[in-house]
Structure 1
Amino acid sequence: MGFDALPSLDQIAVALPTLAVAYIIFGIAGFGTALIAAPVLAHSMPVSAIVPTLALLDCAAAIVNGVRIGDKVARDELFTLVPLMVAGSLVGAWLLLIVPPRPMMLALGVFVVLYAVYALLAPPPRGRLARPWVLPFGGIGGIVSAMFGSGGFIYAIYLGRRLDDKDAIRATQSALIGLSTFTRAVIFAFAGVYSDGRLVVLALLLVPGMLLGTWAGHHVTLRLSREQFLRILYVVLIGSGITLVIRALPSM
């Protein structure tokens, strides 16, 4: 179990503002909660509590986003990505057993940072990414999700080059993350992680931070053009990549 007792007021006082900031990013970009919140929360909570709690909150946040912008989901992209995400997740689970994850995490982090910096500095690309690119992006996103707990930035790169409507990018991204975290939460439930109710109570206590963050993130995006939205998205990608590099280096 994640906690031997319910979280203290000090832990809640740290977690609420942290999650509010993390879910502002989620509300804007549709991903990034774990990469932002987990390193901070790990100073006051065990990782065994953080991951399943964030899975519950991410599911709830995806539902909130779905209510707001669910009609903007690019269903053709979603229905193409989901099977590839599932297949990639199975491959990622297998790779965890045979491949040292740290070098892969470092390489992935460096790639994401370099791509995002290039996207920020280079002239806007002309035309959309060709549909066959869904195969590597969908599969790699699933692999990364299974191996490192977060693959949203991979889907963000793909959707940012496929969709013209920023709300469609956010909505489709959020739906993907919702499906991924729902699957993870179901696995945790069957494994008995939530059986004593403490992590469910923790998630309920942190719901206000999630709601505040998603509300703020949604209202920020209403004032953004697609170009401004993509610039913010690439900055989040840089932060995500740096986080992966930092996580990889100490153990190499």
Structure 2
Amino acid sequence: MRANPVRGLVLAVYALLIVVPVIVVVMGSFKSTEELFASPFGLPESFSFANYGTVLGEQQLDQAFLNSVMVTLASVLLTLLLGSLAAYGTARIPGWKGWLIFGFLVLGMSVPAQANMIPQYVLFNQLGLLDSRIGLVLINVVVGLPVSVFILGGFMKTLPREAYEASSIDGAGPLRTYWSVVLPMSAPSIAATAIFLFVIQWNELLYPLLFISSDSKKTIPLALLDFQGEFLTDYPLLFTGVVIASVPMAVAYVLLQRYFVAGITAGAVKG
């Protein structure tokens, strides 16, 4: 099939819009402020890691990085566990009742996060969960649960009912069927959901900004705000922090890319 030159041009322009800012940020993390403003698109005079030492040492981004890792991993794992169980339950309920429960569970996607901020803050204050990593994990799970049920539930409803029936004939109960049959068959969808949740919760700024006040409990998006002043922003340090914050997402996508693509296409193939 002959290549479409217009399509190729559009894709090339789109690629430049993505790649150029990434290159500027990565190269800027090795520059001083004067060098960055003098030559924003050029290579650094020397690849010095001084900015990385400053960010991880003096700016305490290493603690924020650790906080983000703990909060994000706990949030994603707990959301996947509860979301897959809820999706499995709705998939096993036949007829309109299953769809009704499924619709109720995903209804949370239609509520803007800003509309819940005041009652959530009051509730967390009463429960003593403000300025707490556990509080961040709980709010991330609550916000991410409708999304995970929506993705996983849509996939699990396409699984053949013969698999459930064969498992029942072999004497497996609902939980055994969930663990031994449904989870292995849903692995691509779970991987795609995990990446989606990881990106959202790793970059979450609203709830840490609302709930966290201690420097020792800040996550990376919240800690990066410290690099921006009212009258001056240290862009090399900010770029360095952005690069460090982007590494886990890039690694996760590279490791799970095959499953991510399979998870996206699985529903279309089975549908």
Q: TM range, normalised to the smaller chain?
A: 0.3 to 0.5
Q: TM-score, normalised on structure 1?
A: 0.33
Specify which structure has the bigger relative contact order, considering alpha-carbon pairs within 8 angstroms and separated by 6 or more residues.
1
Which protein has the larger Cα radius of gyration, Structure 1 or Structure 2?
A: 2
Q: TM-score, normalised on structure 2?
A: 0.31
